[in-house]
Chains A and B, each alone.
Chain A
Amino acid sequence: MIEIRNLTKVFNRGTINEVTAISGLSCTIADRQFVTIIGSNGAGKSTLLNLISGRFPLDEGEILFGGLNVTRWPEHRRAAHVGRVFQNPRSGTCASMSIEENFALANGRGLKPGLRWGVNQRERELFRDKLALLGLGLENRLKDKVGLLSGGQRQSLTLLMATLRPPQLLLLDEHTAALDPRTAEQVLALTRQIVEEMHLTTLMVTHNMKHAIELGDRLIMMHQGRIVLDVEGDRKRSLTIQELMNEFAALKVGEMADDKMLLVC
């Protein structure tokens, strides 16, 4: 279970560029729950993921992984519990290192690196089996540098790497946004397959309402650093794009009303 209590994050505090990215957000995610997160630009979706992974320090609130308070843990320490895929396909892999070396680094996630040889034969077999699932022929290219691969291939690799050792929480930060539509669908299908087979607790940020509805068993809509819609179960299953559009429109109306009120006051 992942618990987020009263989370607040303000960027550039005390300057004219002050932005409240996350504002008193609380949320509990049950084990094996697959949550999709949508929201307009600047809603705080990516910031939320970055706060959970520890990439940014938080201003207020607490984060608990299965009862373990990780609020003060640095990013690399939380990594033992978290698998991540980033928006930029270049962010999740090392271009100058081979496929098997990248996998070996992922296989050591959360473990102290030692002076043993980095990749052994048993690991190689495991990597080959995993790569064969992709159907891209990468299982025969273990020694190739990752920099030679396309964005879609690199993103698929990152996804496999993030789940090589089953993480307590999988964070997907718009991981298909930088890919062409066909590749995005392939990576999404792979995501669905891996998450279902491994029963992973997952948070997936997306801009695509269709994806947010199709995937997962819970949907969260964010706006101005808060959760404004949170549906799961039957309601999530029956959700339509039109309904989501209406929700978005309602938010915009609310914003305008706020502006008017400001003007009146």
Chain B
Amino acid sequence: MTIYSFIGSLEQGLVFALMVLGVYLTFRVLDFPDLTVDGSLPLGAAVSATLIIGGLDPFLSLVFAMVAGALAGCATALLSTKLRIMSLLASIITMTALYSINLRIMGRPNLPLLGQPTIFDAFPSSMMPRHLLIPLVFLVIALSWKFILDWFLHTQVGMALRATGDNPQMIRAQGVNTDTMTILGVSLSNGLVALAGGLVAQSQGFADVGMGIGTIVAGLASVILGESLLGARSVAWQTLSALCGSLVYRLTITLALSTHFGFLRLTPSDLNLITAVLVVICLTVPLLKERWRGVRR
């Protein structure tokens, strides 16, 4: 692995860490398996790119990207809570609808941002080279959101949100509307994912309707990787695990893509296969450890 591909995977790990925090919110905190993210990531990219081309400030375009993502999450949560559609199915429905919506927003499958202003232009190029600036900006944003989530999940609303995922019966008995909490949590989650999408579009210079494929699996892989490496003892620790999981996941992918297995050479098109294998490994390692202990006893 070269230093450039190392920094490149760090950059990816940091920007997708926002998406991983979003997946952590639904998958771990709310216990709501949410596939909407495969659509809300390109939604964020599409909204941000379209607005920048339309002349809007790149920073402001990210706010709109987040709002759009939150609306997508809200749609999924409404389907699930008010219409009683199973959460997994509800999110697949929204994800499918978002494909068409994203094409509508962009007007075509791929929208380049060549020569357009991005948030990185706010920092003078004399300050530091772009390949260092971008990861640094992403690091600051990812850490900020980690701390915001740490705070939020310890407020009264945040605690009610965690309780909704843990024991809905209990928190309803305390007078909390679990439907409202689910809508809030899934919206916030998809807002974060869409923000990641907008940032990816601005850093790689284009938005693509297909860029969301495999987002949920990558997100799950990162959450599970982080947990198995660092554990999940407290909320602050869990969000840290999510960040680190995202970094380790991208590094692992980069490493796998730069390795030869005999005659076989992996290419970027094998990415989703590698991710799938990685998730299976992460999910089964605890089980294998348990069995191994059982055998030795």
Contact = CB atoms under 8 A, between A and B. Distances in A.
B156 A114 contact: yes
A108 B157 contact: no
B167 A113 contact: no
A223 interface: no
A93 B170 CA distance: 6
**Which of B158, B159, B170 has the most C-beta atoms of chain A within 10 angstroms of its own C-beta?**
B170
Given A76-B176, A79-B174, A109-B175, A94 B155 contact: no
A106 B159 contact: no
Given A75-B172, A79-B175, A113 B159 contact: yes
Interface in B151-183: 152, 154-160, 162-163, 166-167, 169-178
A108 B174 contact: yes
Given A91-B167, A96-B166, A97-B163, A116 B155 contact: yes
Nearest to A147: B166
Nearest to B163: A94
A118 B155 contact: yes
A8 interface: no
A95 B167 contact: yes
A162 B171 CA distance: 12
Contacts of A117: 154-156
Contacts of A66: none
B172 to A, nearest CB: 5
Contacts of B160: 105, 113
Interface string A140-182: 0000000000000000000000100000000000000000000
B: contact size bracket: 20 to 34
A94 B170 CA distance: 7
Interface string A104-123: 11101111011111110000
B172 A79 contact: yes
Given A74-B177, A113-B176, A86 B154 contact: no
Contacts of B170: 91-94, 105
Given A101-B159, A114-B155, A116-B155, A93 B167 contact: yes
A84 interface: yes
A117 B160 CA distance: 12
Contacts of B162: 94, 96-97
Interface in B175-229: 175-178
Nearest to A83: B173
A130 interface: no
Q: Which of A80, A105, A117 has the most CB of B within 10 A?
A: A105
B163 A105 contact: yes
Contacts of A93: 167, 170
B152 to A, nearest CB: 8
B51 to A, nearest CB: 29
Contacts of A108: 156, 174-175
Nearest 9 CB-CB pairs, A to B?
A: A79-B175, A113-B156, A94-B166, A110-B175, A118-B159, A109-B174, A113-B157, A113-B160, A76-B177
13 contacts: A76-B175, A76-B176, A79-B173, A86-B169, A91-B169, A91-B170, A96-B162, A96-B166, A97-B162, A109-B173, A109-B174, A117-B155, A118-B159
Interface of A: 53, 55, 74-77, 79-80, 82, 84, 86, 90-97, 101, 104-106, 108-111, 113-119, 162
Interface of B: 152, 154-160, 162-163, 166-167, 169-178
Given A55-B172, A118-B154, 11 more contacts: A75-B173, A90-B167, A95-B166, A97-B163, A105-B159, A105-B160, A105-B171, A108-B175, A113-B156, A113-B157, A115-B152
